[in-house]
Structure 1
Amino acid sequence: MTSTPPPPVIVWFRRDLRIADNPALTEAAATGAPVVPLYIHDERLDGRPMGAASKWWLDKSLRALAADLQHRGAPLVLRSGDAEAALRAIIDETGARTVLMNRMFEPAAWERDAEIAQGLKSDGVACRGFNGTMLARPGSVRTGQDAPYKVFTPFLKALLEVAEEPAPREGPRALDGVEGLKSEAVDDWGLHPTRPDWSGGFDWTPGEAGAREAVARFLAGPLKAYGDGRDVPGKTGTSRLSPHLHFGEISPWRAVRAARQATEEGRVPAKQAEKFVSEVGWREFSTHLLHQFPYMAERAFRSEFDAMAWRDDAEGLEAWKRGMTGYPIVDAGMRQLWATGWMHNRVRMIVASFLIKDLLIDWREGEAWFWDTLVDADMGNNIQNWQWVAGSGADAAPYFRIFNPVTQGEKFDGDGTYVRRWIPELAGLSDRWVHAPWTAPKEVLGAAGIRLGRDYPAPMVDHAMARKRALDALEAIKPARDKD
């Protein structure tokens, strides 16, 4: 007597585009049932439209995942449109009675998933979620008063105490897939830019294999001096793992484990590895905050900052976006962002401070630009980091901290390597003048072939004046701050 094969299990991929350490996929394979790997292209996956640079990355990452799954015997099914409608269509086509997924913790995505799971349960379809993207599930790290942490250092300590490291899993070598299911083509989604293709300088390898290569490069070099090296934009001192982590091409636990193992093997000082772990912890902190305080996606975490008198300066915002402010370290960062889809972390703080404090432009304008242009645009990180610079976030920088773009450039790019790389029109200036070309004598500018206002803009704002203006604006909301 022939037994009836079990109904297939759907694995709904979202931001977990990998095989290894993927709890939803591992669980599906363990059932012994056929597996339907599914990706639904929903333009509002996070609750907001996906940025252009993120689409570029998604295009390549999906192709890599599809190849890996095809090799294992379970072709990736691609659908687009409303997530619930597409999911229900696959359920009807396959007769699946189980949907497995790794949870998303952004507020709108969290609510959507809960509604979908409840609806499927009412129809007799089990829908189970796993934590495949964070060291610890948001909401699980609480203070002694059972409240969310609002300060990073105690959060990190508690996180590392309560987070349970899962056993590493390379993932199933073979899967029993379901043939004949209709699938859309990645090409049809138009994720890669055309007319024009502005991604020519994107030097990245999206996908799980690319993530592992990035880890290997990091361990072999930058991690050994990470604490200081990560602040020097002219050198390769950072991990460059952020987009791989965002798209789930590597689990944060695997990245942490690799750094600590390098220490155990004597290849990396423990202090450097733990500094990297703390940066992964900051990513956790940002996601946990947004999950528990969803209003901070639109408003200041510290409500008194909602009274800030922002300037309406479309021309200034555009100059900032184009890297034409007249401040070399700021412009270098903005040009690096446009050319590569990424910006050095130290410079992110400098350009954010310039927009918020020097130009007095709402932090949400900068956050929106980063969301569109960063390949590692992560909602929690992006929002928390911008509010940190603005002084309006949890555990934020002191509101009166205003980066001087000249001294920041001189301190962290003393030899001008970074500025000359991204602003070639200043390449002829010596280290003495490269971060403040307007202070150079005319003969020095002439010898370098520079005429301010023609070859490179003069500063669009006087920093000393702008600093005072920002402090005055912040002083105006002081009574509200003091009430807090």
Structure 2
Amino acid sequence: MPSPSIVWFRDDLRLADNPALRAAVDRGEPVIGLYVLDEESPGIRPLGGAARWWLHGSLASLRDRLAERGGALVLRRGAAEPVVRETVRDASAGAVFWNRRYGGPEREIDTALKSSLRDDGVVARSFAGSLLFEPWTVKTGGGTHFSVYTPFWRAATHGPAPRAPLPEPREIDGASAALDSEDLDDWHLLPTRPDWAGGLRETWEPGEPAARRRLREFLSEDLDSYDRARDEPAAGATSLLSPRLRWGEVSPFTVWHETVQTEGGGKFLSELGWREFAWHTLFHFPELATTNLRPEFDAFPWPRLHPTQLEAWQKGRTGVALVDAGMRELWRTGYMHNRVRMVAASFLVKNLLVDWRRGEQWFWDTLVDADAANNPFNWQWVAGSGADAAPYFRIFNPELQAKKFDRDGRYVREWAPEHLSEHPPEPIIDLRETRNAALDAYEHVKRAARS
């Protein structure tokens, strides 16, 4: 009697270089793909709107690709641990394989599930599929985790190179007995009333095939100009792989090895390193999205919130050209150029003096690439409360940033053209005055830390 293997897909919605899938195929029994939409387990953060839109498309692509190879994707909704155990019983499965997650609540779920499955005699194994280097393997000389990027990345890359990507299975022996599966459309991941996703549909095609195409295009057409032009938002020199990596449509191992085979990829690989640094930080500090990494920042004197200013920032109506352009690009496409993200975030935190957590939550809801590590990690870096945030009082001047990185105004012209008109809008605040207020607030933090 066959005892099927279940592959529990999470943020690894691909067939190529998927260690959990490879282990299931190699076990030699029928394979069942499973995705659990978990919005119920304690500590699990519900997905934002843009992320839900992307998830729908990526799951549809994965479902179709599994079917082409003889497999199937079972969709179920609920708290992950009982749902997976129920699926094991329904399928009389003998093994469950998954690729590791690194957030605190996710690790607790996976650890408890692995233990309970093994107690029942079910094989339960997890694999490294989402990070190049496991967080517990990169340590300082004193055995602690790193808080500064450069020595972290030096230590991570000092040892053996990341493993080679695993080949994609060409055939999958699907289970003969069909399991009950929910319908993807019934999850209502796509917006309807109103349907605000028109710009996302015009900009993106979720799924593994599109991810692989984009990687090839970037390496063959854009990598040469990446180091020189990556900070220019209108240059089109960025990889646009961040949502692909966030959803695991392409693995970091694949990106790494295909990049090292291409001349001139060093700077791009260091950006992969920054992603690794964010996830390593989350592993050691699970409260990254809600708690200052540097506790002295608990003393930051956030003033009373001005809702109209926050709304102006969200809608791209601040009267500051580069900020407005970026926020409108975000709302339209679910994406914002990284240089502009830093400028827009700095403006919110250090000119409007709005708590970084409000900005992090807005990006969580509107970015297609927002994940549990990079989104809060980068917001804390900009705010000065996070890892490697030196100097922590850095304040990006959005006007100088526009002159330096959007010299001909192409980016602003595309997203906020009124700023280049004869009568551009007035900023909602004075940049110099608010900069001084922010520096005063940081001095308060320094005094509180000394007392």
TM-score range, shorter chain: over 0.9
Task: State which of 40, 55, 58 in structure 2 corresponds to 1:58.
Answer: 55
Contact 1:222 1:229 in 2 (8 A): no
Aligned to 2:301: 309
Secondary structure, counterpart of 1:477 in structure 2: helix
Aligned AA (1:19): L
Question: TM-score, normalising length from structure 1?
Answer: 0.90
Aligned to 1:137: 134
**Alignment root-mean-square deviation, CA:** 1.4
Quick one: distance in 2 between partners of 1:230 and 1:482? 39
Aligned to 2:184: 186
Aligned to 2:287: 295
Compare CA radii of gyration and give the structure with the larger one.
1
Deviation at 1:163, TM superposition (A): 5.2
Aligned to 1:323: 316
Quick one: distance in 2 between partners of 1:415 and 1:44? 49
| Map 1:358-397 → 2, pairs under 5 A | 358-397=351-390
Q: Is 1:115 aligned with 2:107?
A: no
Aligned to 1:169: 166
Provide structure 1 residue ranges, at least 5 long, that are not aligned to the other structure: 264-269, 430-444
Aligned to 1:213: 213
Aligned to 2:34: 38
Secondary structure, counterpart of 2:427 in structure 1: coil
Aligned AA (1:140): T
Deviation at 1:172, TM superposition (A): 1.2
Contact 1:131 1:137 in 2 (8 A): yes
Contact 1:21 1:168 in 2 (8 A): yes
Deviations 1:19-65 (A, max 9, x none): 01000000100011111110111126882111110001000000110
Secondary structure, counterpart of 2:250 in structure 1: coil
Deviation at 1:159, TM superposition (A): 1.0
Worse-superposed segment, 223-232 or 338-347: 223-232
Deviations 1:309-341 (A, max 9, x none): 112221111110000000010000000000000
Deviation at 1:463, TM superposition (A): 0.5
Aligned AA (1:34): P
Q: Label 1:482 to 1:275 Cα distance change in 2 as closer, same or farther (>3 A).
A: farther
Aligned AA (1:217): E
Task: State which of 399, 403, 407 in structure 2 corresponds to 1:414.
Answer: 407
Deviation at 1:219, TM superposition (A): 1.2
What count of residue pairs does the alignment treat as equivalent? 446
Aligned AA (2:11): R
Aligned to 1:275: 267
Task: State which of 8, 20, 24 in structure 2 corresponds to 1:24.
Answer: 20
Contact 1:40 1:79 in 2 (8 A): yes
Q: Is 1:222 aligned with 2:217?
A: no
Q: Label 1:217 to 1:481 Cα distance change in 2 as closer, same or farther (>3 A).
A: farther
Quick one: distance in 1 between partners of 2:227 and 2:218? 13
Aligned to 1:434: none
Q: Is 1:79 aligned with 2:72?
A: no
Aligned AA (2:79): D
Quick one: distance in 2 between partners of 1:146 and 1:177? 45
Secondary structure, counterpart of 1:349 in structure 2: helix
Aligned AA (2:282): L
Q: Label 1:162 to 1:481 Cα distance change in 2 as closer, same or farther (>3 A).
A: farther
Q: Is 1:477 aligned with 2:448?
A: no
Task: State which of 465, 469, 484 in structure 1 corresponds to 2:433.
Answer: 465
Between 1 and 2, higher relative CO (CA 8 Å, sep ≥ 6) is seen in: 2
Q: Label 1:390 to 1:148 Cα distance change in 2 as closer, same or farther (>3 A).
A: same
Provide structure 2 residue ranges, at least 5 long, that are not aligned to the other structure: none
